[in-house]
Structure formats: structure tokens, C-alpha cells
Amino acid sequence: MKIQSNKGFTLVEIAIVLVIVGLLIGGVLKGQEMITNAKLKRIESDNAGIAAAMFSYQDRYLQLPGDDSGAKDRFDVYSLIPDAQVNGNGVGTVEGAWNVTVTPALTTAGALESEKFFAHLRAAGLVPGGGTETTRPSNAYGGLIGIQDSSLGIAGHVTIFGQIEGPIAKIIEARLDDGDPAAGRIQSGLNDNTMKGSATTADTAAATYADGERYNMAFRL
């Protein structure tokens, strides 16, 4: 009677398997790093793009988008919409909270200047979309991108990127500012902070960045 013996893996075979596993893990980690870097670059480019569009609008029409008191007469897309629904008050600041949506479009009354901001940029052809759309764009992490006049400890207009993950917020701070969420040209509040920038609602900057939290990051323009 012939007895069959079970053969195990040789050291060479085990080494080959370990090499393949290592390559797979390395490829996954490298892929994640590339995705993270791409998202970071998108946040930076989105912020720079909004700033460029805003200042281009101001240079062209001598008023800020959203606050523009002459937008109704400036763009044909607004010809059939009442003045009050289209124009800002022209006082030199974009009024209204960055993340509050009152109307889906300027065809409905009551839009804030912070909503009209993107509509005016679209009407001027400086960002994609229709000139009556008040929709705020989304950032690489799914949160809104908005603008308001002052937030946290930053005076003047800021762009705000919502729902940025803690580890990413740390990287952005290290690359573009001083690493402190409560100081500098970039400041951040926890994502549950409404950051309305009004006299009656105090904005509170985060003391530190925690990996398990998400943040609303305000960039001074």
C-alpha cells in the first residue's frame, strides 16, 4: 500500500507570496495617498478659483458679486426677475451666512447676498452654471463651499469649506498657514458650529485639530 505524503510550501514559495502581498499593500497605500493629495489640491485650487472669480468680478463691475446693486440691469438673464430678488444692497460686504440656503434660485424671493454671490458669478460667466442658480458648490469632502463677511477671528470676506476631516485640516494648516485653528489666515470651527458671522452669533474656533472630527475651514480672501 502506497502512503502519500503532504508537501508544505517551500521557503521560496512563501517568500514569493510575501513579496506579492507587500506589493499589493504598497499599491493600496500609494493609491490612498494619491487620492488624498488630489483632494488637497482640489481644495486649494477651489479656494484660489473663487478668490480669482470674485476679484475679477469686482475689477470688471466695481461691485462685489452678491452685493452688486446693479446686477439686474447688467445681465440679461435677470430681465424678467424683480430687482429685489436679484440685486444686492451695494454696501461693499456680502451679507448672510455662508451655509444657509433660503431659496433654490433667484426666481424665488428672499435670497441672501451669500446665495446671490454664486448666481452673480455664474451670470458673469466666471464660474459654470446658470445665472439664477443660488446653489453653493461642494468641496472634495462633500461639504459646502460658501462665503461670508468675517468669521471666527478673521475680519473681511472669507471662503468657508465645510466638513473637512481632521487629518486633512492639519495638512492644509501646515501647508498654507501656521497650524493653529484659532489663528492666522486660515481658522476652523467644529462642523456643528453654524459660523454665521453675525453680531448675535459668536463664532468659536477650535483649540486643536482632532482626527475624529470634521471642521469648517475659513480662508481669508
CA nearest 67: which of 162, 130, 157, 137?
Answer: 157
- What pLDDT, in 10s, does the model give residues 45-54? 999 999 999 9
- What pLDDT, in 10s, does the model give residues 9-44? 676 667 776 777 766 666 665 567 788 888 898 999
CA nearest 189: which of 120, 125, 143?
Answer: 143
pTM over 0.85: no
Domain boundaries, the chain: 12-221
Element (H, E) at 146: strand 145-151
The span from the first CA to the last CA of the chain, in angstroms, equals 87
H-assigned helices in the chain: 11-61, 71-74, 83-86, 113-123, 166-176
How far apart, in whole angstroms, are the C-alpha atoms of residue 102 and residue 203? 21
- What pLDDT, in 10s, does the model give residues 87-144? 999 999 999 999 888 888 999 999 999 999 999 999 999 999 999 999 999 999 999 9
CA nearest 188: which of 162, 212, 211?
Answer: 162
